[in-house]
Structure 1
Amino acid sequence: MLPSPETVEVEYITPRRLAGGGDPAWITVLLHRACGWSHGDDPLMPRVILTSPDQKAQLRLDPAPAGQWWTLHHAPDRGRPAWYASFGAHTPVEIIAGFVDALTGPRLTHDEEADPYGPLRQAGWEPAWAENGLVSPDATTYIQHPVGEETGPWVATATLGESRPVWQARFDEHTPPHLIAAFTATLAAPTPAIRTAPGRLPPLDPNRITRTEANMPVDLIAFALENRIRTLAARREVPPAAPSAPRRPPAHPRRTR
């Protein structure tokens, strides 16, 4: 059935960690408009550079043919050394968003106690063949964190087979645990990814990925990013201070004769 003028054809893709990158605006526009990150203006370079309001974090989206497209560097802060995180070109923006939303959200009181493996275990991920790692139930994605004399970075890898890597995410060993836990929570979430223009998607393995076509109202697609911006921008709004009670004039002592 052809879509009506009021709808657009989309695909629901499960698992979403294998759905492809998606629209970068889900991250870049959100950081600029909802979180106040400034951006550079270099029309001669096919890249985006965003800097946090406190100048401590910088996100680069650099579409290089090889390597990680998304790279975030954070300066030393509150006794924590500098750290970085990076994501490959085909990392779904919905999964990167879990990390970014936690980074720009309110600081948690017990964020050092977060367990990045917790959301994965709850979703049925099992111990992987790699040292100190977990693998998804469909064996397409695994994450590991070497622990020993020298603690290494966290590395998450999505594949369609031993020789078919899809994307990789890397987190420095000094990355705050609650940010990695936010990433793993979105990594394990069962919610499908929604992709427009299905014909433009790269070939996906039908034995591992479920694709369901549907017609979605144009308004829902057009305003999805605006709704996301509005929701996260509300976190920055400071509630007005409660009006103080009017002060009573000082009492004058009664004059006695």
Structure 2
Amino acid sequence: MPSDPLKKNPGPEQPVKVLPRHLAGPGTADPHTAWPFPFDEDWTLHQLENGTAFAVSPCLRLWTHLHPEPGTSHQGTWTIAANRIPFGPRAWQITFDAMTPVELLHDVHAELLDLYLEDLHSDWDHLFGDTTPAYEAYGPLFAQGWGHSVETEGTQTFYCGDGLAGVRHQYASRGSDVPEWMVWGGYSSEPLWQARFSTGTPTALVAAFTASLISTGPLHRNAKDIPSQFRRHLYLATPAPKPAPGTPPAAPPPGPERTR
């Protein structure tokens, strides 16, 4: 059993950098952190006093929602949905437990905005006719040494080397009630968090999520916010000291590369 990397930590407020990402905890569930939308231009943001928040695209076909549930195991739900016509039935939907690291949510929403803008300024229809192959979402997992198993009913599952994260792909259709993709962190029998991508979800969004999931860029947390049951599985480092006044800031580590 590895030793607890936080055993000698000075205190619960100590800032640390954490890897792997899937065990880092959610971070700050702030819509402005998760949603990189141009709210000062044409996207709409609604926030309620209880923490509930909505963001809506100008075309009224895309919306994303935070529904906090303090005191529950997963703390609530983030939801992304798309309608082919404003206020019509949902064409596809993604749900994330609120325990999902917020940086992963940000990268999915950034890709969503990219798809929206590409469709807006071209004849493409990435939001409802994405042609990104499934391999774009799971291929990078192989490069990180993830295991792979295939079941005869049309399901393939990818497992992280530490056994504490997985990606399940339903490549043979089993109906709209079964998510085409499911991703989790923690033990598969009792996940710390789960993400579910319905049939019809653009594969580019799944690929953005898996790329962020396996990124080697550490996440910034306070020691007290890291899930205690997984502390022995983490790699930690204290953040570098602040540079002296007048020193140019170091460039941030590159984010996950997204290609189509």
TM-score, normalising length: structure 1: 0.70
Tell me if 1:139 matches 2:167. Answer: no
Q: Distance in 2 between matches of 1:138 and 1:86?
A: 24
Whether the 8 Å CA contact 2:23–2:227 is kept in 1: the answer is: no
Q: How far is the alpha carbon of 1:20 from its aligned partner? A: 0.8
Equivalent in the alignment of 2:212: 186
2:207 maps to a residue whose letter is A
SS of the residue 1:157 aligns to: strand
Tell me if 1:104 matches 2:128. Answer: no
Give 1 or 2 for the bigger CA radius of gyration.
Answer: 1
**What is the aligned residue count?**
210
Relative to structure 1, the CA distance from residue 129 to residue 118 in structure 2 (aligned partners, 3 Å threshold; closer, same or farther) is closer
Cα RMSD, aligned residues only? 3.2
Q: 1:203 aligns with which of 218, 223, 228?
A: 228
SS of the residue 1:121 aligns to: helix
Q: How far is the alpha carbon of 1:15 from its aligned partner? A: 0.1
Q: Distance in 2 between matches of 1:88 and 1:135?
A: 19
Q: How far is the alpha carbon of 1:208 from its aligned partner? A: 1.4
Runs of 4+ in 1 over 4 A off after TM superposition: 108-111
Q: 1:124 aligns with which of 145, 148, 168?
A: 145
Relative to structure 1, the CA distance from residue 15 to residue 62 in structure 2 (aligned partners, 3 Å threshold; closer, same or farther) is same
Tell me if 1:177 matches 2:203. Answer: yes
Matches within 5 A, 1:211-222: 211-217=236-242
Whether the 8 Å CA contact 1:98–1:186 is kept in 2: the answer is: yes
SS of the residue 2:105 aligns to: helix
1:46 maps to a residue whose letter is G
Equivalent in the alignment of 2:84: 76
Whether the 8 Å CA contact 1:9–1:215 is kept in 2: the answer is: no
Q: How far is the alpha carbon of 1:54 from its aligned partner? A: 1.6
Relative to structure 1, the CA distance from residue 129 to residue 147 in structure 2 (aligned partners, 3 Å threshold; closer, same or farther) is closer
Equivalent in the alignment of 1:156: 183
Q: Distance in 1 between matches of 2:73 and 2:231?
A: 26
2:141 maps to a residue whose letter is L
Q: How far is the alpha carbon of 1:184 from its aligned partner? A: 1.0
Cα deviations by residue, 1:184-213 (Å, 9 ceiling, x for unpaired): 111111211111x32344414233112222
Cα deviations by residue, 1:221-253 (Å, 9 ceiling, x for unpaired): xxx9xx9xxxxxxxxxxxxxxxxxxxxxxxxxx
Equivalent in the alignment of 1:26: 33
